[in-house]
Structure 1
Amino acid sequence: MSAGAGRRRVPVRLGIGVVVLAAVGGAGTWLFRDDLFHPFGDARACAGSDLRLPHAIEAGGAPLPADASDIHYLTRNGSVEVTFLSHRMSDYLHRAGVLPEGEDLFDQKHGTKYGDGEDEIALPDGLCGASLRGPAWEYGSTAANGTRVDVVDERSTLYHDAFRRPARAVVTFTS
């Protein structure tokens, strides 16, 4: 009888060991999920990115606004697309040299309508994150360092001379 009892304990111990290993493996996967499922271990990087961007992303020689949140990027063949939310879009456009100081935000000399109405506007192929909401405005410029910078910003639906608060932007440039 004692020989049968010893045989039953081996499978129970083995079962407990398997459960413990599975729990530790699951906890480790959960703990390091950003490193496992995002390129370069950077939660901001979208699948397919071929270059890791530094923590402080600069587009056209100007860092993203200090309050930028929900940041995602896609790097492909030297081209960079970044999407983020910010309350400081006009300041960013001036610092990046996309919009000259003193100019109206929505002057057709510096940009054009990009989507009408309040519909969602899809992000560029491969760029992850939340979609833009219309209406939007697109700016294009060449920065002082020679980099082409294109910016699409969400406009306010209430005030025709302002951005949403916060506004989502998509910035495209070359690295």
Structure 2
Amino acid sequence: MTAYREEDAGTPARSRRWPLLLGIVALALTVSAGGLVWLFQDELFHPFGDVRACEGSDVPLPVVIDPGDAALPADASDVHYVTREGRAQVSFLSSRIPDYLHRASLLPDEAPLFDDRHGAAYGLGDGEPELPEGLCGSPLRGPAWLYGNDSVAVLVERSPLAPDAFPNPARAIVTYALP
């Protein structure tokens, strides 16, 4: 006959607690991870894995976006785009809008920024927002000026304080046909 020791009595109960504790910890981690994925789903799951792409886009744009054969300004930030039915709309912030307009051949070098021969006032009041359907990100705010040719249209914020200047940086929305 074997002798019964007091320390053996606690062993089976302790060994049964480990799987239960591990199950509770695993459940808590799973619920936490699921909650974080749900909370940040917009930041985690972008179309084509591109953080610039807005939901509903049907084709990805290249890393260097070049509507009208002029790449977006080097300082472009807060870039977002939506593509559908062979067209793209790209929204961005930049302090180099005049340079972009010249490179895209929308504004001759010698022309003033707000020349009626090369653009037109766009119907937005001061501070009034404009964000085309499907395009995500921050909206463009009025007043605004529209430049364009047969292949590209550029809508740009105009400074509400200085009527002959853009704010620094200015938001622009470029619309063009995809190749």
Which residue in the other structure is 1:46 paired with? Answer: 54
- More strand by proportion, 1 or 2? 1
1:171 corresponds to which letter in structure 2?
Answer: V
Aligned-partner Cα distance in 2 for 1:33–1:112 = 40
Larger Rg: 2
- May I ask how many residue pairs the two structures share in their alignment? 168
The yes-or-no answer on 1:107 pairing with 2:112 is: no
Which residue in the other structure is 2:20 paired with? Answer: 11
Q: TM-score, normalised by structure 1?
A: 0.85
RMSD: 2.4
Deviation at 1:161, TM superposition (A): 1.1
Among 61, 69, 72, the alignment partner of 1:61 is 69
Closer, same or farther in 2 for the Cα pair 1:170/1:33, shift >3 Å? Answer: same
Q: Percent of aligned pairs with the same residue?
A: 52
Correspondence list, 1:69-84, <5 A: 69-84=77-92
Q: Please list every run of 5 or more consecutive structure 1 residues that lacks an aligned counterpart in the other structure.
A: 143-147
Aligned-partner Cα distance in 2 for 1:154–1:20 = 47
Aligned-partner Cα distance in 2 for 1:130–1:103 = 29
Closer, same or farther in 2 for the Cα pair 1:37/1:128, shift >3 Å? Answer: same
Q: Please list every run of 5 or more consecutive structure 2 residues that lacks an aligned counterpart in the other structure.
A: 1-8
Structure 1 range deviating more: 100-109 or 9-18: 9-18
Aligned-partner Cα distance in 2 for 1:120–1:48 = 25
Q: TM-score, normalised by structure 2?
A: 0.83
